[in-house]
Structure 1
Amino acid sequence: MATVQIDKLLETVVKEKVSDLHITVGQPPVIRAGGRMRRLETKTLDADDTNSLMKSITPERNQQELQEVGGTDFGFAYGDKARFRVSVFKQKGTIAMVLRRIPNEFLTMEQIGLPPVVKDLITRPRGLFLVTGPTGSGKTTSLASMMNWINETHAHHMITLEDPIEYYHEHKKSTVNQREIGVDVPDFPEALRRALRQDPDIILVGEMRDLETISSAITAAETGHVVFGTLHTTGAQGTVDRIIDVFPTNQQEQIRTQLSVGILGVLSQALLPRKPSGMVAAYELLVVTPAIANLIREGKTFRINSSIQTGRKYGMQLLDDHLFSLWKNNIVEEEDVLYKANQPGELKVRIEKAKRGLYDDEEEEDEDFDEDDDFD
């Protein structure tokens, strides 16, 4: 019964191109489409239903982890139609699951509207490039499209360290080795330590979540590798602060210096419902120029945002500026733009002024990035 059911549910997810499937006791399965949650018209699930749905897709070792710590994550392929990243967890003593659909095809950097200067940054010989944003903001998709572009255009050795592996990369022009935490290697610090002996040009660190991982990633970036990392921070300025704050006070000055030399840029993103359907990403991009490296070294990160604003000639932009242009070009609703803004109050004032026909000088030139993306 359960396998039939899970297949049916996965078929719906693939056919309707939804991003997530939620399974929990006390309601029918729920899908997230275009950023909005919607119940499917099937039976209300009870504890036996969610338990058998879980058992039909969860590997043995993950079922064991679920029993021991109350939750587990894994990835699996649904035939050749899609891959799913699954989080299984206990709630009120019953089983719940969230399945995130990972499309089989890569979107190009142009399709997802990444700022063009990203290509220059990620083809430098070494340095740390960070992609940040809350869960579900499209970080994985952006990184996959960057990695795929490098794979198609450069003969490099790329190592990805992921928990779990999401997009599968084939060897194209590059050689790509993907290591799954908990399956191929016990943890991120161990994987990073080993990676440096594996002759990589590029290392992707799925999550920089602790001091040891962050420290190893910075060291790897200094020693002649390009390191991609992700953090759940919002905004470029907040990301730099977060990295420094992870370290004990007596090490922070040294880390500031290391970071100022090692960091290439920070791409911070948010994902919004697009009118009338689909999703579109808004980006903040910090390109680390010598002036910005100085701000990081001297602990003046509070000045980063104004430097991004004046750094447009380097391809930099603030998230709220991009959100404003998405609203102005009638791509997204005002409420969605304000919901994702770093400074919603200021953006609201700006939108109100724009409605009355009052624009800042710079806005007349319009900071238009290619907004033709569908993130679906």
Structure 2
Amino acid sequence: MQYNVDNNKLANLILSNNFATQDQIMQLWQYITPQRDIGQLLVSQNILPMNVYQKMVSFLAQQAMPPQQQQSQQAVRQNQSSMNQNPVQQNRQGTMQPQAQRQMNSQNNQQNQGMIQTGQQQLNATKPLQAQHKSSVPQQQPQVQQTVSPKTSIRQSASPMESQPVLQQMAKPPVQKPQPTQKVEHHGVQSQDNEIHRAIPEDALMEKIEIGGGEQEYFDPSSRGIKLDSGDDSSSTEGSGYTGDLPDIRELFRYARSIDASDIHLSVNNPVIVRRYGVLAPTGESIITPEYMHAQIRILLKENQFDSFRESGDLECVVDIENAGRFRVTVMKQRAGWDCTARCVPDSIRSFEETGMPPACRGLTEWAQGLVLVTGPACCGKSSTLATLVEMLNQTRPDHIITIESPIEQTFTSAKAQITQRQIGRDTASQEAALRAALREDPDIIVVGELRDLSTIQLAVSAAETGHLVFATMNTINASRTIYRLIDSFPPEEQAIIRNMVSESLRGVISQQLVPRCDSEGLVAAYEVLLVNSAVSNMIRKDEAHQLGTAMITGKASGMQLLDDSLKMLAAQGIISQQEVNARCVVKAPQ
């Protein structure tokens, strides 16, 4: 007969006897399988001595016996105790004990011994695998079904790896050893390998277990707000089984979305930090550990993404979280461990009116060919503005639109236009290769996520010159600096030629910044709009981009607008403060 260990009761027993901390148990909880209970996992990590584990399994097996059998076992222990104290009495009791009672006790002893041997065999079966895969990293976490409590359970899904021992996929789950400041009671002596073996007599163990009386409270991981699952689906609503003070990373993403945060920062040895309305603020005092980040990033990324990240040391991708939406995630390796930064992608594409763009910007979507740029500093909403313009094209023009992004943030559904979305690294090797291929795919409109280097800028300008309408973004703060950035990307001997090409192909520049509102209810966009006419084109050709501000002032009637004027107008309406205007204006007001 084999006793199936109740992991909740065993964990409770281990905790009450101070053989492991709650954090250690919680960190190993996700690796429980039908073949390995929590005690065996703790033994494999040299946290729980084997002899104590055997005694605890024996004790739990006894507690699961019918009352008559428990009384019989208790009588056997009392007889054995008295025999050990008085050898003469032992002989007398041995001769006076009825034959039937001796047979029953013998059967019970064999039964308990068999259960202990079964636990030992299950543990020994995984030791060769542990040695063989000591340096391995988990490639896939098994999904298992294990009773947690009458109200909490781990859901199971069919998996071909489910029957394999956990250590075949992970040599050592991440476990934090007790720190010196933690009070952990040690029983026993120091061994040769400096490990503490808490070997205590069985009677002393039983006495300590029974202290306090009554039924023990179940060890329930959900009591800490943690849901358990295998964590192999990034869209799952259940947690990863991480066991520290911090919740599952997907819960953090949901929290960021719920408070309207734009970014969330997870950095080792720091608390969780979110950016809300342009301001960074910690969400609590819990410190992120390297073990937490390793486990959560492993869960968040797909298998191929995780492998790529481990090779290159950084990765940018988009993940979908159920009840939270899409996030642009960047993970990287750094000195202290792994870091993760996530940007909340808007749930929907805003309409032109919702963006607050000046009406003149609508005309930039009506050109048949040319170059339109959306610029601004990082985290200012360039991608959202570009998505609004693309959706306007999708709804109004029967054209073929090709987008080249890294990664794809907003997904479009073809309406009047046919939209092809390509992701760098997944659908194409590089941005340059995608742009070259796009010119042979019969496009009418090409959308480039960002002009980052010389080859991309050159191809984008060439595409605009050869009869395509090109939309792209750049990280520059206003229109004049955008022109300088375009021209200065080329070698000096080529700048005259490219200056002439830009003057003829550029159709307009939208520069924007997001400014915190006075009422602390969000951010508002301030826009600068440059529409290229003959005067502006002539300035670019003659290398007089510094005079573009004057051209925009004289071109207000046609819809042009300076960023400074937009900021002052928002301040006059009481939407932003004068301090924000002074901090962001390109031309500073005299003191």
* TM-score above 0.5: yes
1:341 Cα deviation from its structure 2 partner? 2.4
- 1:82–1:338: structure 2 CA closer, same or farther, 3 Å change rule? farther
The 10-residue stretch of structure 1 (82-91 or 134-143) with the greater mean CA deviation from structure 2: 82-91
1:28 Cα deviation from its structure 2 partner? 2.3
Partner amino acid, structure 2, of 1:191: A
1:41 Cα deviation from its structure 2 partner? 2.9
Provide Cα deviations, 1:194-232, integer angstroms capped at 9, x if missing partner: 111111111111111111110110011111111001111
1:64 Cα deviation from its structure 2 partner? 3.2
C-alpha contact (below 8 Å) 1:189/1:213 kept by paired residues: yes
Q: Which residue number in structure 1 is paired with residue 146 of structure 2? A: none
Partner amino acid, structure 1, of 2:314: G
C-alpha contact (below 8 Å) 1:207/1:230 kept by paired residues: yes
Provide Cα deviations, 1:160-190, integer angstroms capped at 9, x if missing partner: 1000001111111111111000000011111
C-alpha contact (below 8 Å) 2:509/2:531 kept by paired residues: yes
Q: How many residues align?
A: 347
2:321 aligned with 1:78, yes or no? yes
Q: Which residue number in structure 2 is paired with residue 297 of structure 1? A: 541
2:288 aligned with 1:45, yes or no? yes
Aligned partners of 2:400 and 2:256: how far apart in 1?
34
C-alpha contact (below 8 Å) 2:253/2:324 kept by paired residues: no
Q: Which residue number in structure 2 is paired with residue 283 of structure 1? A: 527
C-alpha contact (below 8 Å) 1:62/1:73 kept by paired residues: no
Aligned partners of 1:152 and 1:42: how far apart in 2?
48
Partner amino acid, structure 2, of 1:160: T
Aligned partners of 2:323 and 2:341: how far apart in 1?
20
Partner amino acid, structure 1, of 2:332: F
Does the residue aligned with 1:104 lie in a helix, a strand or coil?
Answer: coil
Aligned partners of 2:379 and 2:507: how far apart in 1?
24
Does the residue aligned with 1:43 lie in a helix, a strand or coil?
Answer: coil
C-alpha contact (below 8 Å) 1:272/1:337 kept by paired residues: no
1:266 Cα deviation from its structure 2 partner? 0.7
Q: Which residue number in structure 1 is paired with residue 467 of structure 2? A: 224
Provide Cα deviations, 1:268-293, integer angstroms capped at 9, x if missing partner: 11111123211111111110001110
Aligned partners of 2:585 and 2:384: how far apart in 1?
21
C-alpha contact (below 8 Å) 1:285/1:317 kept by paired residues: yes
2:565 aligned with 1:321, yes or no? yes
Q: Which residue number in structure 1 is paired with residue 302 of structure 2? A: 59
The 10-residue stretch of structure 1 (169-178 or 61-70) with the greater mean CA deviation from structure 2: 61-70
C-alpha contact (below 8 Å) 1:282/1:323 kept by paired residues: yes
Partner amino acid, structure 2, of 1:71: D
Aligned partners of 2:496 and 2:288: how far apart in 1?
54
2:253 aligned with 1:10, yes or no? yes
> Aligned runs of 1:1-376 on 2, under 5 Å?
3=240, 5-41=248-284, 43-79=286-322, 81-276=324-519, 277-343=521-587, 345-346=588-589, 349=590
Aligned partners of 2:359 and 2:551: how far apart in 1?
19
Q: Which has the higher contact order (CA 8 A, sep 6+)?
A: 1
C-alpha contact (below 8 Å) 1:31/1:40 kept by paired residues: yes
Q: Please report the TM-score for the alignment, with normalisation by the length of structure 2.
A: 0.57
Does the residue aligned with 2:330 lie in a helix, a strand or coil?
Answer: strand
Does the residue aligned with 1:53 lie in a helix, a strand or coil?
Answer: helix
Does the residue aligned with 1:110 lie in a helix, a strand or coil?
Answer: helix
Partner amino acid, structure 1, of 2:543: G
1:40 Cα deviation from its structure 2 partner? 1.6
Aligned partners of 2:414 and 2:424: how far apart in 1?
21
Aligned partners of 2:507 and 2:394: how far apart in 1?
20
C-alpha contact (below 8 Å) 1:265/1:287 kept by paired residues: yes
1:42 Cα deviation from its structure 2 partner? 6.0
Partner amino acid, structure 2, of 1:40: T
1:333 Cα deviation from its structure 2 partner? 1.9
The 10-residue stretch of structure 1 (9-18 or 316-325) with the greater mean CA deviation from structure 2: 9-18
**What runs of 5+ residues in structure 2 fail to find an aligned partner?**
1-227, 229-238, 241-246
1:250 Cα deviation from its structure 2 partner? 1.2
Provide Cα deviations, 1:234-254, integer angstroms capped at 9, x if missing partner: 110000011101111111111
1:342 Cα deviation from its structure 2 partner? 1.9
Aligned partners of 1:313 and 1:294: how far apart in 2?
19
C-alpha contact (below 8 Å) 2:272/2:282 kept by paired residues: yes
Give aligned-pair identity as a percent.
Answer: 36
Q: Which residue number in structure 1 is paired with residue 216 of structure 2? A: none
1:81 Cα deviation from its structure 2 partner? 4.1
Aligned partners of 1:80 and 1:258: how far apart in 2?
47
- 1:339–1:70: structure 2 CA closer, same or farther, 3 Å change rule? farther
Q: Which residue number in structure 2 is paired with residue 362 of structure 1? A: none
C-alpha contact (below 8 Å) 1:205/1:229 kept by paired residues: yes
Does the residue aligned with 1:308 lie in a helix, a strand or coil?
Answer: helix
C-alpha contact (below 8 Å) 2:254/2:323 kept by paired residues: no
**What runs of 5+ residues in structure 1 fail to find an aligned partner?**
353-376
1:108 Cα deviation from its structure 2 partner? 1.0
Aligned partners of 1:90 and 1:134: how far apart in 2?
25
Larger Rg: 2
Does the residue aligned with 2:490 lie in a helix, a strand or coil?
Answer: coil
Aligned partners of 1:281 and 1:289: how far apart in 2?
25
Does the residue aligned with 2:354 lie in a helix, a strand or coil?
Answer: coil
Q: Please report the TM-score for the alignment, with normalisation by the length of structure 1.
A: 0.89
Q: Which residue number in structure 2 is paired with residue 357 of structure 1? A: none
